[in-house]
Amino acid sequence: MSWIVTGGAGYIGAHVVRALAGAGLDPVIIDDLSSGVASFAPEGVPFVRGSILDRDLVESTLREYRAEGVIHVAGYKYAGVSVQRPLHTYAQNVEGTRVILEAMQAVGVQNIVFSSSAAVFGTPDVPLVVEDTAKRPASPYGESKLIGEWLLRDQAVATADSDAPLRHTSLRYFNVVGSADPTVYDVSPHNLFPIVFEALLDGRTPKIFGDDYATEDGTNVRDYVHVGDIAAAHVAAAQRLAAGEHVEPAYNLGSGDGLSVKQIMDAVARVTGIDFAPEIGPRRPGDPDRIVATGELAARDLDWKMRYSVDEMVRTGWEARRRAS
């Protein structure tokens, strides 16, 4: 029996694959390498190159590897760009999820862990987000993830009395950082850590967008969570599903207190030894002061915890990125 990891050659997916293998489970990767990196796939792990939109490919992979479940990480993850590419975003994230569920039903695979996003909340009007905080996604990306959660919910209802009722949970999180394997690093051109690292490697000064927010130091506060912890939570969710244990429909993988952009910049300077004063630019439209989620439910069920300090988050990410240079 195996666990299929869609997007398993991506930054997060590749860490999930390693965490599954470390837990004694058998991962299998499906990835079209549109944003994944072939070298991120560990040696010895079966790699099926193709799109999750290819129903025949997904179904044949589930059958061939006798899948016990799916960890669905694949998706178009660029919230800002999704505003310019809504149709592409919906095709990849909504239709892709529908195809996976359809293939699972055809084969009789019951378990799925869905890599959702805290983008489903949009700009919440509360300082600490919990699972039932109102969902007001502010981009096609956030909307597509919320629709993905609805698809899982509705399919579970539809199959409840069948021979293979769907069992599912969705994991929501904000900013994933760091590295738990020095051969895997964040390649996104839109995430804070790689943006800052690339600036330093190019001899440029990193920039902060706005320092007049209603926070302790004037810069945005967000959850920053280590990719190793995120991967471990996906594996814990898969294990609970496979064991028939109770899971919530969704869990927030939050820090509970958050970090500011200035705190991140200070940690980068400390860890890299590169002394810099970030440039201050204008605010970006729609950036809220603070968005932080609690992780209490995930701590109860998925052994969720913040195992890395901010300096360790920076150090592991920086070392992995420099190794790739």
Which residues have a Cβ under 8 Å from the Cβ of 84 and sit 6 or more positions away?
none
State the pLDDT at residue 286: 67
Residue range 135-170, pLDDT digits in tens: 999 899 999 999 999 999 999 999 999 999 999 999
Residue located via tokens 């007049």: 212
Catalytically annotated residue among 76, 78, 90, 141: 141
Query: Residues 177-181: what's their mean pLDDT?
Result: 98
Known catalytic membership, residue 65: no
> Does pTM surpass 0.75?
yes
Among candidates 173, 183, 204, which has minimal Cα distance to 276? 204
What is the Cα–Cα distance from 279 to 283, expressed in whole angstroms? 12
- Paired with 58 in beta bridges are none
Confidence at residue 173, expressed as pLDDT on a 0 to 100 scale = 95
pLDDT tens string 207-241: 999 999 999 999 999 999 999 999 999 999 999 99
Q: How large is the average pLDDT for residues 68-93?
A: 94
Residue 134 — φ and ψ, nearest 5°?
-55, 135
Q: Work out the angle at residue 15's Cα, subtended by the Cα atoms of residues 178 and 108, and round it to the nearest 5 degrees.
A: 145
Cβ distance 141 to 119 under 8 Å?
A: yes
Domains identified in the chain and CATH numbers: 2-175+224-252 (3.40.50.720), 177-222+255-290+307-324 (3.90.25.10)
Residue 13, pLDDT above cutoff 90: yes
Task: Name residues whose C-beta falls within 8 Å of residue 64's C-beta, 6 or more positions apart in sequence.
Answer: none
Q: Which of left, alpha, beta for 246 (phi over 0: left; psi -120 to 50: alpha)?
A: beta
Q: Band of the pLDDT at 125, cuts 50, 70, 90?
A: confident
Q: pLDDT, tens digit, for every residue of 249-306?
A: 999 999 999 999 999 999 999 999 999 999 999 987 767 788 899 999 999 999 999 9
Token readout for 262 is 């200035």
Q: Are 220 and 208 within 8 A, CB to CB?
A: no
Query: Helix (H, G, I), strand (E, B), or coil: what is residue 154?
Result: helix
